[in-house]
Structure 1
Amino acid sequence: MKKIYNPTQDSWETILQRPQSSSTEEIEETIKTIFTDVQQKGDQAITKYTRLFDGSNLNDYRVSQNEIEIAVNDVSEPLKKAIQLAKKNIETFHQAQLTKSEVIETQKGVVCWQEKRPIEKVGLYIPGGTAPLFSTVLMLVIPAKLAGCKEIVLCTPPNEQGKVASAILYAAHVCGVTTILKVGGIQAIAGLTFGTKQIPRVYKIFGPGNVYVTAAKQYATKFNVAIDMPAGPSELLVFADNTADASFVASDLLSQAEHGSDSQVILVTTSSKLIDLVEKEIENQINLLPRKAIAIKAIENSKLILVENNKEAMHLINLYAPEHFIVISEDEDFFIHNIQNAGSVFIGHYTPESAGDYASGTNHTLPTNGYAKQYSGVNLDSFMKNISFQKISEGGIQNIGKTIEIMAEAEGLQAHKNAVTLRLRSLKLKANGK
C-alpha cells in the first residue's frame, strides 16, 4: 500500500482517485451491441451471450422446483442456521422502516397526504462468478417482500454446467422468491429491461455486479427503467487512532480488498506508528487468504494516509465519501456527528464491516465511487414510491383560489387560472341561490 504523510489539501482529489478499469468507450459499445441484440432477438440473444460469457448452453433459464429442492438438501445445517439468523435481523431492521401516512391540513379546507405504494415489478441481480453472493439475495429480497412488490425476478449467472450456487438458491427459497433465472452479465440486465418470453420486464433493477453489469444498469435507464443507484467497485475507508488494534484494522482492509482486484481500501490515521503496524499485519494476513492474488491487486490501489488531527481527517473522509466507513477512535462521537458522506458506518473495535455484509441487519447494497455524496444505500423505501394526495373542500378552494389565479396568470397559463375561476364562480352563484 502506498504511504502518504500529511498531504496538503490541494492534493486530496488526486490522492483519493478511484482505480480505473476498462475504457468507458469499449464498455459502452459492448453494452449497446448486447442490448440491441436482446431487444431484437429476445431469448435467442440471451442464449448466445450466456454461452459466450458463461460457457453454458441453456435454452431454458428458469430454475426448476427440483433444482431448488436439491439446493436445499445440499446446503449444510450450520449455513442454513446462519442464513436464517441473518434473515431475521435483516427483516427486523427493514420492518422498522415502515411508516404511517399522516394527513396534513395545509390551510382550512385543504387536506394533503402521502401514501406509499410498492414498485410492482423489480429485478434483482445476484453476482455469481468467483464469489456467489447469496447474502445479497437476503439484502434485496427481504425489503422487496416487506414493501409488497408483486413481481420479484431474480437473475444470477450459471456456471459452465448450467447450475447456480446452492446457497443462492437456498437463500432465495427461504425468502420466498419463485422466479429465479440462470442469466448473468449484461444480457441479464438487457433481458430485465426489455423483457423476453422467459425473462419478465421490470420497472426497477437492483443489485451489485462487475464493471459491465454496473454500466449496463446505467444504460438501462435510457429505456424507462430505474436502478437502485450508480455504483462501482467495492471500497472501504477506516479511520483509526492510536487506540486501534492493528490486526483488526488490517483484517478489515483485507476483507474489502478480496472482493475484487479493482476494489480500494484506505486507512486514514493520526498515528504514524499505526501505519507501520498495519502495513506489517497486512503482509502477514494476506499470505493466508485463498483470494490472495485478488487482494494483492486491490492493495496496489490502496493507501495509508497520515493526517494531523481528527478535523482534517473528517474533511478528507467526507470528500472521499466511502461506501463503507469504519471508525475506531477515542473520539468516535466526533466522527458520528460529522460524517456527511458515507454509505454505511461501522463504529468501534468490535464492529467489522463484514457484520454489515452479512448479519447485523443493515443493508449491504451501498453507493460506491463517491456516490454516497448524493445517494443512499438500498432500504425499504428503495422498493416503494410516494404518491401524494389532496382533497379541497368548497371552503378550501375559496381560501386558496385567488392565490392560484394570481400565480397562474403571472406564468401565462390561462387554462390553469380558468380551472379555479370556474369553480369560484360556481360557488358564488350557488351562494346567491342561482
Structure 2
Amino acid sequence: MKLLAVGINHKTASLVLREKVAFPAESLVDALTSLRDTLGAQESVILSTCNRTEVYVQAENLQHHALLKWIADFHQVDAGDLTRHSYAYDSEAAVAHMMRVASGLDSLILGEPQILGQLKQAYSSAKNAGAVDGQFERLFQHTFSVAKKVRTETDIGANAVSVAFAAVQLAKQIFSSLAKSSVLLIGAGETIELVAKHLSDNQIKSITVANRTLQRAKQLAEPIGAKVITLAQIPNMLHEADIVISSTASTLPMIGKGMVESALKDRRHKPIFFVDLAVPRDIENEVAELDDAFLYTVDDLQHIVEQNLASRQQAANEAQSIIDKQIKEFISWQNSLQSVDSVKAFRDQNNLIKHKLQQRALSQIAEGKDPEQVVIELSNKLANALMHAPTKALSEAAQHNDQHRLSVLKQSLGLNTEKD
C-alpha cells in the first residue's frame, strides 16, 4: 500500500488552471467514488481551495501520472498542461508535504491559519463519503496534531503579513479596546474589504463604509453590519470616527488638513488614528502635523510587514524542525504495522507446525505407541521445524560474511553474541 499526493497550487499554476481543476463541494462524493472505482484507491481525500487542489490517495500499484490523468479527465482539461504545472510526492515525502500544508508553511501567506480548517473539512467530507479508513484516519489526525503543535510552539501566525492586517494590528496597539472604537472605511475595493473582515473578526460594532457608489459600499457593509455613506458626506461624519482607514483609486486626496482640523475641534481634540493605504495618497501628508492626528501610510505598514515576514520565516524554520520530528514518529508507527503483520504470519506458521505435529503425536499414542518415544519424536521434530528457517538464514549470512545480518539475526534469536 502506497501513499500518493499530487496537486497544483499558487506557486505552480495560474489562477485559470486552478479554477479549472477545483472540486466544488457538490462533486466531491462522485470524485471520491471515481477514485475508488477507477483507480482502485483504498482511501482518498481531496483538498480544493482557491490557491490549491490536491489529491491524497492510498493505493496499490498506482503511479503519479495515472492520478494526474484522472484529475485531467474528471475536469476535462489537457493532461499534459496539468502535469507541467503539478507536483507529486509519495510515501514519506507525501506525509511531509501534508504536514507543511496543514501548518501553513506552503501557503500564499506564510503561516495563514485558514488552510488547517480547509484540510479538516476535506478530511471530514472524505470520511462521510466512506473514503477514509485505517491509515488515513491516523495520518490526518496526526497531521492536525502537528499543525496545532506548530501554532502553539512557534510564532508562525503571530505577526501581520498583509498591510490590511497590519493596519488593524496597529490600531489595536493604539486603542485599548477596538470593540469600543468607531471606524470609518473609505473605499470599497479588495484592500478595504480585507480590512473590514479583520475589523469584524475583532468584534468592532461601529463601522461606516464611505464610497463613490453606495451599491458597492452596501455589498461590503451588509455582511459585517456596517453603515454606508457617500464620499461627499465624509466632512460631516469625520468627527465621529476614532479610526479612519482609506484605500481608493482617487488621483487627488480625499481628506485634507483643514477637514481634519475641523473634525478634531468637534471632538474636543480627542485623537483620530489615520491609515492611508492608497497610492497615490488619499490623505494629505500635512495631516500628520496636527497634534491629535496620527497618520500612517502604506510605506509605514509595508516596513512592519517586512519585519513580520522575517519573524515568520524564523518561526517557519522552527516549525519545520517540529514537522521533521513528527514525520519520523508517523513513519515509525507505519513501519510497526508491517512488523505486526510479520509477527502474526510468524505465529500462524509456527502454530500450524505445532498443531500438525501435536495431532500426529496424539494419534500415535491412541494407536498404542510408547508415549515416551512419542514425546521424544515430537520434541525433535518440533525443534527441527522451528530451527530450519533461522539456521538457513544464519548459514547464508555467514557464507556471505554479512556481519550486520548476522548481528541482527543473533539479536532476534536471543543468542549471546559476546559469548559466541
Same fold (TM over 0.5): no
TM range, smaller chain: under 0.3
Compute the TM-score of the two structures, normalised by the length of structure 1: 0.24
